[in-house]
Homo-oligomer: A and B are copies of this chain.
Amino acid sequence: MKTYELIDKPGLESLAIVERPVPVPGPHRVVVRMRAASLNYRDLVVAQGRYGGKNSVGLTPLSDGAGEVTAIGDGVTRVKPGDRVAGIFMQTYLAGGLTAEKSASALGGAISGVLSEYVEFDEDGVVRIPEHLSYEEAATLPCAAVTAWNALVAEGGVKPGDTVLLQGTGGVSIFSLQFAKVTGARVIITSSSDEKLERARQLGADETINYKTNPKWEQAAWDLSGKRGVDIVIETGGSGTLNKSLRAVRPGGRISLMGTLSGTGGEVTTAYILQKHIRLQGIYVGSRDLFEDMNRAISQHQIRPVIDRVFDFGQARDAYAYLESGAHFGKVVISI
């Protein structure tokens, strides 16, 4: 079978297709014929060998993919050949709180990922995908969609009538927009592109702010919240925007922090956090339980992930480059 690996050194130029034997599932293991994979910003960092101090050489990249179960090992009961499944981001994070042990099982980072024709998983490491989704669509769920669900619903505790502030139009933001709308929340979204803001509006965004033409977007968000402050911010920008989020959120509000687009640190006005009794919750994807809760919502509302562009299996490097350009709206997918 064909699989991508970072063959000799970090960097996209080292990402290449190699030939490997199709895995044979051991007891309680399953093999999946992957049909699609999707990219996250994290995958750029991994490919560059900058992810958590690991150089990632020898690793198959990407955490997010979906396909069809082709073989199962002894004792498997959760799935059967022919089932349409996606791998879960952290293979041992089934439920409850995050632990170091669970973190160490993340696909396409801590362990090999899914940009491969066949991948072997523990039977506990996959979930069935919603019936109305194509493999390309389902491949976008494991990291970006579960992160958005965790940030907004599980940890965010969003409820109807809340005002949610979303930053940008990347994968997590667009999933957050879709989930916020079915939860009855009001959505304010930012972008540097009026065209992207218009697309967000078509997806249900109630208010839009162009942060390029309106650099004081935090003030605009505050005003749009009736000068009460927004209830929840999905902070995908990282430290570059966090101070503005701290201003835009209401006293007692919540900020779910999951992105580091602007780097891994920066100046933070901690005084706001305490004076406004703000909860700043780090979000690192989520458990299989959350994935399955989310799938029920996706199925019920027939939500379709927003895919910007699908690349062929041979064009993986182009897909990475396209993600890096920031031109996308929604997810970048590779067909396998």
Contact = CB atoms under 8 A, between A and B. Distances in A.
Interface of A: 26-28, 52, 94-100, 103, 153, 159-162, 179, 182-184, 186, 228-229, 238-239, 242, 250-252, 257-260, 264-284, 287, 289, 293-301
B276 A284 contact: yes
B258 A274 contact: yes
A241 to B, nearest CB: 10
Contacts of A250: 100
Nearest to A157: B157
Given A277-B282, A283-B274, A251 B159 contact: no
A56 to B, nearest CB: 16
Given A153-B160, A183-B184, A252-B99, A271 B279 contact: no
A153 B260 CA distance: 31
B184 A300 contact: yes
A279 B276 contact: no
A284 B293 contact: no
Contacts of A160: 153, 179, 182-183, 297, 300-301
A301 to B, nearest CB: 6
B94 A293 contact: no
Contact of A265 (B179, B260, B268): B268
Given A271-B265, A282-B273, A95 B95 contact: yes
A15 to B, nearest CB: 24
Given A103-B275, A280-B281, 12 more contacts: A98-B277, A100-B229, A160-B183, A257-B273, A260-B270, A260-B271, A264-B269, A264-B271, A265-B270, A272-B282, A276-B284, A277-B284
Contacts of A268: 239, 265-268, 270
B98 A252 contact: yes
A267 to B, nearest CB: 6
Contacts of A271: 260, 264-265
A181 to B, nearest CB: 9
A154 B323 CA distance: 39
Nearest to A260: B271
27 contacts: A27-B28, A94-B96, A95-B97, A95-B287, A96-B289, A98-B252, A98-B277, A100-B250, A103-B251, A153-B159, A153-B160, A159-B297, A160-B300, A161-B295, A186-B300, A238-B270, A239-B270, A259-B274, A260-B270, A265-B267, A265-B270, A268-B270, A274-B283, A277-B281, A277-B282, A277-B284, A279-B279
Contact of A276 (B98, B229, B252, B258): B98
List of 9 A-B pairs having minimum Cβ-Cβ separation, nearest first: A95-B96, A161-B297, A161-B296, A264-B271, A273-B282, A160-B297, A182-B184, A274-B282, A96-B96
B267 A266 contact: yes
A44 to B, nearest CB: 15
